[in-house]
Amino acid sequence: MKIWVDADACPVVIKEILFKAADRAQIVTTLVANHNVRVPPSRFISFMQVSSGFDIADDEIVKRVNEGDLVITSDIPLADEVIDKQGTALSPRGELYTKENIKSRLNIRDFMDTMRASGVHTGGPPALNQTDRQNFANHLDRIITQFKKTQ
């Protein structure tokens, strides 16, 4: 298993959790973004910069993800593609995207896009809180533990 991070919009606190987990579990973790992202010195953590543009980082992740890999993203279409490739997708808020819930999440996302396009102000997501951080850390730990058991 490798961990891929859609780092363009990933909160710093989530990256820090990932850095600690990557070193502790010795799992290769790659952050992908179209701008420079600082990563700590580690043989397990790397950064891949892609060119600027719509979905360039997402496309690079989809190209490189393999069955069993974990992708950290809040991008619903990216999560859908990861699931199609037999990967696991986890949001920075700790929501595990699955075959059972991804299509409804895509429908909600598309509906909200339509609302915004018609001029309705829908607001953004609430700020990441301590519960979100804990949910993320717990899910990440379960995924890593399950992976380690299958090695």
6 phi and psi, to 5 degrees?
A: -75, 90
b/e per residue 102-116 (b: at least 16 CB within 10 A): beebeeeeeeeeeee
pLDDT for 53: 85
Q: What is the pLDDT of residue 4?
A: 98
Positive or negative, the Cα torsion across 112, 134, 40, 89? negative
What predicted TM-score, i.e. pTM, was given to this entire model? 0.88
> Counting Cβ atoms within 10 Å, is residue 56 exposed (0-12), middle (13-18) or buried (19+)?
middle
CA dist 61 and 81 (Å) reads 10
Which letter does DSSP use for residue 101 in this model?
Answer: T
Per-residue pLDDT of the chain (151 residues), as tens digits, is 999 999 988 999 999 999 999 999 999 999 999 999 999 999 999 999 999 888 899 999 999 999 999 999 999 999 999 999 999 999 999 999 998 888 877 766 666 677 667 777 766 677 899 999 999 999 999 999 999 898 7
R_g (Cα) of the chain, nearest Å: 15
- Strand duo 29-33 + 88-90: pairing: unpaired
Residue 103 has a pLDDT of 81
